[in-house]
Structure 1
Amino acid sequence: MGGTMRIGALVSTRAALAGATGNALVMGVAEVSTPLGWVLLPGLLGVSSRPRVAALVSAWAAVLLAASVVVPVVPGHRAEPWALGASVASLAAVPLLAWTRRRREERAVARVPAPRDVAVFAMPAGTERAALAVCRTPGEVAAAVPLRRGGLRVLVGVAHGATLARPEHTRALESTFHTESRRGGRSLPRIADALDRLVREVSPGGYLAATLVEVSGDGSVTLLRRGGPDVTVHDGDGTRPGGLPDAGPIGLAEVTTSVARAPAGARRLAITPPVDRSAHTAGSRRLPDEALRLSRPVDAVVALTRRPGGGRRTGPALVVDLPPERP
């Protein structure tokens, strides 16, 4: 992952351009000449895309609109000045709306100051906050997707296998997580299913050891462990393993529909990077407890990336604060 958290788009460039073209053909054949018919779908596709794609879709829709007026093989867009002006103004506004959406999402996932060898991102998690740390270690896969009303979905994992661990393939895994997380009705098992298909296509011999996290707007947490590290729970007094069931790595195990809730009494959850078992001393076991006692999630997640005895940091790591349990 690069220096900034990539914000996903709902619609790809190819799909947006194809949709704008198909809309123009349908409007022409159906003899629809109103500006709304020619502009509504390209506008929706553009707003759901990245700003550059939105500008491209708007420009292409304007070309199709002009062609329908200049070359009236079939009835096209109205040629009256008011109609052309309305369509041009609408198409010009699409890139601005797409840029506004992207900026809003970028503000939700904000990079915060951290040591040079780790990138840390802070974001809302329901009624509380979360922090994600990325250390650019080989095979590292990490993605966070803000949802409506403070919801959040996060992927934390490590790609295994020389092919799957390539940067272009780890980026593809993160992009797939972004896309699937934003689609309506997608549950964590269905997102894991999409990642499984990608892993088997790209690297049949590789696998992704990951834990998927979803925080709803009210702060409730759902987790799906697919070969990734267990969740560490901090209850205010100390830490303990979350005891999540492990459905097996993505790309190797069969897709499962089982998910788990945050353990009772948890005030903070942490998914820590894998630790070399040969270095699993008493000091290394104390590390999560000391880290999770820090007041801010961003400080805790930075501490979790440290390795016992020093050396290069290892990621990714995630810390999620939970609201107090209601009596």
Structure 2
Amino acid sequence: MTTPLHYAIVGAGIAGLSCARALTDAGVQVTVFDKSRGPAGRMSTRRGDGWACDHGAQYFTARDPLFLAELERWQTAGVAARWQPRLTVFDAHGRRDGGGAEARYVGTPRMTAPGRLVADGLNLRVQTTVNALHRYEHGWELATAERGLLAEAFDGVLLAVPAPQALPLLQPVLPGLAEVATAARMQACWALMLRFEAPLALDFDGAFVNHGALRWIARDTSKPGRTGQETWTLHASAEWSEAHTEDGPDHVAAALIAEFCALGGAAPLAWSAHRWRYAITESAVEGGYVWHSAAGLGLCGDWLNGGRVEGAWLSGHALAHRVLASARGAELARA
């Protein structure tokens, strides 16, 4: 009897989960590792006493037929719904209509919900930071910050992490793939979550900001399924975030709240800050994914496929099917 293939996937964002789901559904054994406390990556929600706020991905769109089918599954399961915000645009010349014809979707009741659905039933090991890969004749072994070298060996390793995090894992074992990661520049994003005692009397729910420190503001409680205190998310621009990456949260909050107030907002009852060190892909690598068949090593993620939720899911899905095709080819060669 042929021993089932066993792959390690590093990263439980939507790309890694999509890849894991497709492989698992095809009968491949998969173990997913993530340094965080739970799945979904930047489809993330911060929760507190009586409040919650999406501070990573704010919404997603769907165009590709494969992702549209996945979105339909999410909606049927009740973990995604269309968000129809009143949108506006602020630029150096003032304010204009933000449009709204494009369908925008969010996870319900939180942005993490679709990721948790995809992760359901997967072998997921959280709070496990993979910090080195080792290749031997019997397969790949993983070293972790928390537990050292893990006992099991894997037929292949699929990295579903931001390019700067993939780089140190790739350089010692496959410098050619490391060059792919080097080619993608990912930028930081400061996110600020504001809480208010009562809804703000603003005539919009989301705004694109094309000048100053801010790039996006949104009334999080306008999204379907949200309850609790009035919350707003502020995202700083990539340029401002890069320039202030090492600033303390107090300085960041003061600067971003001042700009929010200048756009009609107000000082919050309370706030929380989060720095996404690798959030925005300035120049995505073409191709959607990377697969090195001889080594059994692959890369997927939004940074390889346009920087969006849809792109991340499609990247993981495509890599999984490329891995399956390689496995079938190897079986035919042995036959």
Q: Provide the TM-score with structure 1 as the length reference.
A: 0.26
Considering Cα pairs closer than 8 Å and 6+ residues apart, tell me whether 1 or 2 has the greater RCO: 2
**More strand per residue:** 2
Higher CA-based Rg = 1
**More helix per residue:** 1
